[in-house]
Amino acid sequence: MILGIGTDLANIERIEGTLERFGDRFRARVFTEIEQRRAERSPAPAASYAKRWAAKEACSKALGTGLRMGIAWKDMAVTNLGSGQPIMHVTGWARERLMAMTPDGMEATIHVSLTDDHPWAQAFVVIQARPGGFGSQPVPPAGPAGPGRPLA
């Protein structure tokens, strides 16, 4: 069962300008330390940040709130499995909202797809609910302890 769908398109050059203008203040406000480390290791840090920005926007839309109702940027974080597959982690109010919208007896899975083609970065998020205990991959906890041991 699909619980929510969200998409977002971010301009990499706009994110790059914001990074130049506000630097660490912007990074610390929006991105987790894991997201920052991954972006800074990337050959194109602004594109990495833009994809994660778009993923957070898309996730907030899939949750049915946008960035309102108490949701914070850092309540949503993107890490990657060893294969490179992005994984969305939710904490705080975003996790509370996800649990509230998930029917009893079901587990929620957040699917996320990221892409970029300069100057655009795009994210697509689908929140799916499946009966629990049938091999589904529930939403992982925040941080590197989640399924597949996400990369830092």
Residue 61 to residues 3, 39, 58, 122, Cα–Cα distance (Å): 11, 23, 5, 14
**Residue closest to 5 by CA, chosen among 142, 110, 86:** 110
Least confident of 10-19, 66-75, 90-99: 66-75
| Mean pLDDT of all residues in 132-146 | 51
Higher local confidence (pLDDT), 137 or 15: 15
Query: pLDDT class for 131, splitting at 50, 70, 90?
Result: very high
Domain ranges of the chain: 2-131
Q: What is the pLDDT of residues 90-124, one digit of tens each?
A: 999 999 999 999 999 999 999 999 999 999 999 99
Q: Which of 8-12, 50-54, 83-87, 133-137 has the lowest mean pLDDT?
A: 133-137
Q: Angle, nearest 10°, between helix axes 12-30 and 45-62?
A: 70
Instruction: Give residue 89's identity as a one-letter amino acid code.
Output: H
Q: Which residue has the higher pLDDT, 150 or 84?
A: 84
Q: Does 48 have pLDDT greater than 90?
A: yes
This prediction's pTM: 0.85
Cβ neighbours of residue 139 closer than 8 Å, sequence gap 6 or more: 88, 89, 90, 95, 98, 107, 108, 109, 110
Q: Per-residue pLDDT averaged across 136-142, rounded? A: 53
The superfamily CATH assigns to domain 2-131 is 4'-phosphopantetheinyl transferase domain (3.90.470.20)
Q: What pLDDT score does 134 carry?
A: 45
